[in-house]
Amino acid sequence: MSFGDPNNPYGPPQGQQPGYPPQQPPQGPPGYGYPSAPPVQPGYGYPTAPPVPQGYGYGAPMEMPGLIKTARVLLFIIAGLQILVGLFLGIAAGAAQDASNGFGSGDDTSTATGVLIGFALLMLALGSLSIFLGVKFRNGGSGIRITTIVYSSLMLLGSLVNIVRGAGGSGTFGGVVSLAFAAIILASMVNSAASVWFNRPRY
How many CB atoms are closer than 10 A to CB 174?
Answer: 16
More confidently predicted of 169 and 31: 169
Q: Which of 109-113, 156-160, 189-193, 198-202 has the lowest mean pLDDT?
A: 109-113
Instruction: Report whether 200 contacts 163 (CB < 8 A).
Output: no
Q: Please give the model's pTM, rounded to 2 decimal places.
A: 0.64
Closest CA to 115 of 130, 96, 140: 96
The answer to which of 5-9, 26-30, 168-172 has the lowest mean pLDDT is 26-30
**pLDDT score recorded for residue 112:** 78
Residue 162 lies in a domain: yes
Query: Residue 50 domain-assigned?
Result: no
pLDDT, mean of residues 144-150:
95
- Domain presence at residue 149: yes
Whether residue 188 contacts residue 71, with contact meaning beta carbons closer than 8 Å, is answered with yes
Query: What is the pLDDT at residue 24?
Result: 57
Question: Which domain does 99 fall in, by range?
Answer: 66-198
How many domains are contained in the chain? 1
pLDDT of 69 reads 93
Residue 52: pLDDT over 60: no
